[in-house]
Every structure is written in C-alpha cells, then in structure tokens.
Amino acid sequence: MDREVFQEQYGLLGKSEAMRQVIDKIMQVAKTDITVTLQGESGVGKDVTARAIHAMSHRSRNNLVIVNCGAIPEGIIESELFGHEKGAFTGAEVSREGYFEKADGGTIFLDEIGDTPKNVQVKLLRVLENGEFFRVGSSKVQTTDVRVIAATNQDLWQMVQDGDFREDLYYRLDTVQIKLPPLRDRQEDIIPIFRKFVEEYSAKYDSVFKGFSDEARELLISYRWPGNIRELKNVAEQLVVLEKSQFIDKDKLKKYLKGRQHEGSADNLPMVADGSKAQHDSFGTGSDFDKKDRELVYRALVELRNDIADVKKMFANFLYSTFSPNNVKALPASIRDEVDKSDVAGVNVNLDDHATLGMQSMPGDSDIDTADENELSQFFENDEIPSIEEAEKFLIQQALNRFDGNRRKASETLGVSERTLYRKLDQYGLD
C-alpha cells in the first residue's frame, strides 16, 4: 500500500520527514506479530497509530481491545486484565474473562503501560513471553494468542533506573519502539492538519471558516502545542463552532490557546522559525519572524531568572533546616544577600534572624562540626556566586552527608521528590 493512501485511510496525518519515517516503520511491522511500543507525549496520536497497526495486520478481522492502564484502579487491574473466578473476592458473584481473553486471536493495546503496578508487571511479562496467565482466584493456566501494542508518555528506561518499572519487562516491550514526534517538532504539518480538521467540522456543523490573518497563522505555527494533535483538533472545532463565519485574527485565536492565556509558562515559549523557509499556503503568506525570535530570547531570560530564584530558595530551605548558626554566618556577605529573605515553604526568612533564633533550637545541631563551616567557605571561595549546576551538586552532596546517605530525608530537606533526586545523582555522578 502506498504511504499516502495508508495515511489517508487510517488518519495518520502529516508529510514531514519525521512522520514519513514513522509511517515507514509502521508499515514494516504492522503485518508481523512483533511487540510494538509507541512512545510519545499525550495527544500525539498513539491510539490512532495502534488502530492503524491492527487494521493493517493479519489479525484485523479479530478484536482490537484497548486498555488504559492508568485509568484502572490498582486494586482491580489484575482482574480486568486476566479475569477472575466466582468468589475470588468480595463482589465476584460470577466468573469473568479479562481483556487478554477477549483479545484472543486479535490485538491488545496497553495504553499508559508505565502506570501498571509492579505485581501486575511480572504477570504481563509471562503473558508476553508465552501467552500464559491465571485468572484471579484460579490455579488453572489459561492461554491466549494476542499481538501486544503498548504505549507510554513516560521514559520507561528512567522508570527502570528509578525502580518503578521491571527491567525484564522493559526489554520485552522494547522489541520495536516507535517514537511519535510532538507537533512542535513538525511545524510544516500544523497548517495542513488544521485545515483537515476545519473541513471536517465545517461539514459536520454546516459552518463556514473564513481563514486567518497572517499574525494568527504565525501564532498557530509558533505555538508549542503542549496537547499536540488532540489540542489542535479541539481548537479547530471550537473556532468552527464558536467563531462561525468570522475571520480569525491573532486576538481571537489566542483565546483558544490555553498556554497563551497565561504569560511566563514554559509551554508558552514560541518556537524559532527559519526565516529562509517562509511557508506559504491558502491560509496566508510567509512573514518575517525576527519579532518572534526576540520574544523567545526575552522569555528564555525570564525562565532563567525563575530557575535562579528556585535555586536560591532551595539553598535557603537547606540552610534553614540543616545548618547551625555558625554555618549560616560563614557565608560571604554577597551570598547571604542573594539568599537572604528567600521565601522558604511560603515563609519569608531572614538569615540573620534565623541564625540567632530558630537555628539554636534545631535538633541535631550538636552533631554538626566545623567541617560544615569549612565546606561552605571553600564552596564560596573568592566570594563568587556558583553556577546553578554547582549549587545543586553541592547541596545534594551536603544533604546526603548530613543524613548518612538517606535519600528520602535528603530529598525532603531539599524540597524535591526522590525520583528527581535519583536523576540528579545520576546526572552529577554522585553516590
């Protein structure tokens, strides 16, 4: 089947190089029984891709069973996947087959596979390897012949490193991985996909769409689309219905772009466009993007300022909860000025007041010796402010030393999650 015919038939829209590579890979694996894992952000079309793979396979005459693993409560997910026998648990009044039995001979699509509990992951591994499983409350081995397609918007390998996902199941799922690109990485597809949606909704609602101004079209392309194709489709429907027969300018469009309604969001940063590749179509003509580039630089600087503020807050929080008065006073004047009056856990803190009052009653102060003071003095040598990376590494190392390597306590003191702490340990090569 021709690529364009395949895309049109199964709704996989886009002619960018990134999408062509995805489509070619899908067409290669669709007619086999190989396990496929779809990786991509929310809204990129993982469910549409799974349907296309099933429809093109030799199993297309049988069931495609779609399971959203993240939407099933942990207490019943095993029963939902593998079924249960009568009396297996309170409320199990009759025997019931699970999704793997319903998909026998066809395909099962396990969406958000990363959200499955560890005790269920080991049972998924078995059914993936030999098609065997047990119903809840039964000792009889059941078998099923299914093709498995999994999907996730998470980094499964990072989850393996964090201990949240089984490594053996990861390798079993990683046979073929197809990464679906976010919409912001294929700008040339935005207008054609949008036009397709507008045509569909105009016909559905008997409405007329009169097009965009150049500025509105530019905004449509430069917006980062955190919700990807799902968000683009939603915006197209809203414009057709709510702005019926209206010519859409920048201000009208902006009302429907969630990330553009609040300034300063990281998702709101515009993308830098290549001025040498001005895009032209019936929705408008190419235009100069210098203004957008300046806006990008400005907002990037705002985000950097926020990052620095976060590190200062983290530093103040760490000093507030960990070090003794002498340690706080050991800071050079310029550093203390930077951290002084940081908002710690919603409370405005002054290090001078804290050093003379609060810290004196901190439990465990007697265990802190002059080594801490030396560490601080050496770290702020020459009265210079360290880089964000240096500050993070120093704070993490000090927190681990303070709590004898207890990562839970260290993460609580630093005000970050344990997962983030593990990632930072790996990033900075800390043990």
Measuring CA to CA, how many Å separate 313 from each of 316, 362, 376, 388? Answer: 5, 19, 17, 12
Please determine, for residue 359, whether its predicted confidence score (pLDDT) is greater than 60: no
Average pLDDT over residues 25-48: 94
Please determine, for residue 183, whether its predicted confidence score (pLDDT) is greater than 70: yes
Measuring CA to CA, how many Å separate 275 from each of 284, 291, 293? Answer: 15, 11, 10
Specify whether the CB–CB gap between 372 and 328 falls below 8 A.
no
Average pLDDT over residues 61-69: 95
d(CA 126, CA 148): 13
d(CA 81, CA 89): 16
The residue ranking higher by pLDDT, 285 or 253, is 253
Domains, in order of start, for the chain: 3-181 (3.40.50.300), 184-288 (1.10.8.60), 296-428 (no CATH)
Q: Taking the mean position of all CA atoms in its chain, how far away is CA 375?
A: 37
pLDDT band at 271 (very low <50, low <70, confident <90, very high): very low
Q: Is 186 exposed, middle or buried (0-12, 13-18, 19+ CB in 10 A)?
A: middle
Q: Across all residues in the chain, what is the average pLDDT? A: 78
pLDDT band at 273 (very low <50, low <70, confident <90, very high): very low
Q: What per-residue confidence (pLDDT) applies to 265? A: 43
Please determine, for residue 267, whether its predicted confidence score (pLDDT) is greater than 90: no
The residue ranking higher by pLDDT, 227 or 353, is 227
Q: Per mean pLDDT, which range of 93-107, 291-305, 378-392 is the poorest? A: 291-305
Strand partners, 148: 108
Please determine, for residue 367, whether its predicted confidence score (pLDDT) is greater than 50: no
Specify whether the CB–CB gap between 142 and 4 falls below 8 A.
no
Please determine, for residue 50, whether its predicted confidence score (pLDDT) is greater than 90: yes
Q: How many CA atoms lie within 13 A of 200 on its CB side?
A: 12
Q: What per-residue confidence (pLDDT) applies to 128? A: 94
- pTM equals 0.61
Please determine, for residue 123, whether its predicted confidence score (pLDDT) is greater than 80: yes
Q: What per-residue confidence (pLDDT) applies to 346? A: 41
- For the stretch 308-345, pLDDT in tens is 555 555 555 555 555 455 555 555 554 555 444 444 44
